[in-house]
Amino acid sequence: MVFLAKLLPASRSVITALVVTGLMLFSVGKAQAVNIDFDDLNPADLIGDDGYIPLTNQYESLGVLFESGAYLLGYSPKSAPNYVNGPGFSIHFLGVLPTYVSMYVGSNLEHKVGIRAYGVNGYFEDRLTDGEVRGMQWEDSTPYRPNQFISFYMPEGISSINLAGQADTYMDDLTFSVSVPEPSSLLLLFLGMLITYLHRKRLQ
């Protein structure tokens, strides 16, 4: 009985340590992937008296805002039924910035499309799709490929992405990953106190 009485407090301490460690393991390095295929919206709801109404805050709950003429259309060349089309538009991320963003990009007129992703502190990266270039730089044209996969990875976070073509740009299947914050300082402090307590009990 004396042995069991001494064992019970020790086992409780060990179980507590295991629970706290498990919580830390599950909270570190996790990432949440978000996919927007635009098929949840009805293009007919975004047509007004003056024509098409651009996307703005329809996906704000997912941490995304659209600006500068991103129009929702049907008959997607990538994944039916809907996609986003326009001469050029911007995607802004809210809250915790994603570290990875991907999408499928093209042009119904088979033009090149330029994509620029902005990070923090003025950092940016550029991508350019294959396609035709009209005007004085026509010699820079390359054979067009539809639905080109474009991706960016920035460990410090991606704040916005701009897409621009000469007259026509489309995008579909926007996917981004947001890292879950690491455990709080309070949890780390509690773990340190628990380890110190167990060490002192063992020395007694």
Nearest to 82 by CA among 41, 52, 47, 54: 41
Q: What is the DSSP string of 29-77?
A: S-EEEEEE-STTS-GGGGEETTEEPPP-STTGGGTEEEES--EEESS-S
The pLDDT value recorded for residue 23 is 47
CB 11 within 8 A of CB 201: no
d(CA 168, CA 165) in angstroms, rounded, equals 6
Return per-residue pLDDT of the chain as tens, 204 residues.
Answer: 544 444 445 455 544 444 444 544 444 456 789 999 999 999 999 998 888 999 999 999 999 999 999 999 999 999 889 999 999 999 999 999 999 999 999 999 999 999 999 999 999 999 999 999 988 788 899 999 999 999 999 999 999 999 999 889 999 999 999 876 555 544 555 566 666 655 565 656
Model pTM?
A: 0.74
In the CATH scheme, what architecture does the domain 31-179 have? Sandwich (2.60)
The pLDDT value recorded for residue 135 is 86
d(CA 106, CA 73) in angstroms, rounded, equals 14
The pLDDT value recorded for residue 132 is 95
